[in-house]
Structure 1
Amino acid sequence: MTSAVVSSLTSLAALEGVPSGFVAARDGIDAMLRDRGLRRTAPETTAESLLRGAYASAVLEGSTSSLDEVRNGTGDEVSDDAVRVSTELLAWAPRLSRSPLQVLARLHTVAGARALDPERLGRPRDSESAERLRTIAEALAVGPEVPAMVVAAVAHAEIAVAAPFASHNGVVARAVERLVLVGRGVDEKSLVVPEAGHLANRAAYESNLRAYRDGGSAGVHAWLLYAAEAYAAGAEASPVNDG
């Protein structure tokens, strides 16, 4: 990991409004998990969170399936792809910071299995994409000196806008975001549904990703402020809140 990557992420985490935004989002997540009885949470609740996340991610990727169709296994191909990723996602959480490139490749291999020829699965599109993936991997390997939510938000945006793989970059980006929140202790049981937070604010989600891509430092700043709000919305969308 280069010191430049750590320095860059640390600087982003200190931008105006970013620390307070992410602290508020983290406090909301912690309160939700505590007040709703985290210690009694069943594995089925995690499975439901992952399913809702897969549905939301698929819709953001272009799926037209309903949540009921996804739940019943009758969704379209995009939703099937997102569900496949969700079913093995948490197994990769312990490896994300240690072997980020391996995890990124695996997530794309699972997501794109039906859409691409085998030789394109898990591989960057070109040399520029390979370099971008290496930078993303360095960000995913940073230590606790960078807040987890900042790492999650930056990794998500970098994958989504760089589109380093031949397909399913959005699905991979949102899966990595959830993995960071799990692996870095924000949401160890994966009960928050960040994908649903993005879907609930789809216009802002898409416009802020464009700003991240095209708007320079101001666009990155705007994305981070948006991400804090999206994570708070993802906590509200948790199945822990049902009933």
Structure 2
Amino acid sequence: MSGGLDGLRALVTGGASGIGRATARLLREHGAEVAVLDLSPSDLPAGVHGFTADVGDREGVTGAVTAAATALGGLDILVNNAGIGAAGTVEDNDDDEWRRVLDVNVLGIVRTTRAALPHLRASAHASVVNTCSIAATAGLPQRALYSASKGAVLALTLAMAADHVHEGVRVNCVNPGTVDTPWVARLLDAADDPAAEHAALSARQPIGRLVTADEVAAAIVHLAGPQSSAVTGTALPVDGGMASLRLRPRAR
């Protein structure tokens, strides 16, 4: 697919680290002009434009999207990747934390897409890819708030795909499993036994390891590009088989 995105303009939210940074780099490698929105857009891949924005701030997001589209000369691809995590059951996060996580993970997509749509409608290859999660479709322990936010992202993806298909705007999402990102690293560091927790997170995915940010980025870039022009309203698992495989325990 090298060069398959030549001439296309892409915007990635949360693009300075983890999945977002890997996605920005891969889009650039495949020929796209790329900008990222991030709270701290530093240490970006070569050739990537950075814009400071908080997806929780409507006016800030609108201004940053406009600035990015101007710098790129338009917009063909939007990757809604910015998000925050939360751990605990329904008893463990107060109402303010629920509002904060839903505001970033769900309304952040709404704000960014709303600002980007006028630019995307002018594109012949308009595509939106949202970063969702295995947590949207599988019951994971200690992830009540996070799972609720990602369930909303999945439903929002399908609704957006239906709303904008006749405008030539495709909308899809990726559902990663547990990804080796800075957020997961912080969770592991906070565990009573980080090594045991890492082993447990790896073992629950049939491939026996964490998913890498580059693997998720590859799925995002695949959905975003013109080679997927017939794909919309799809949630693509990148979870090492966690959602669909039921393996027998290995013999000891």
- TM above 0.5: no
Q: Relative to total residues, which structure has the larger helix share, 1 or 2?
A: 1
TM-score normalised per structure 2: 0.29
TM-score (norm 1): 0.30
Quick check: which has more Rg, 1 or 2?
Answer: 2
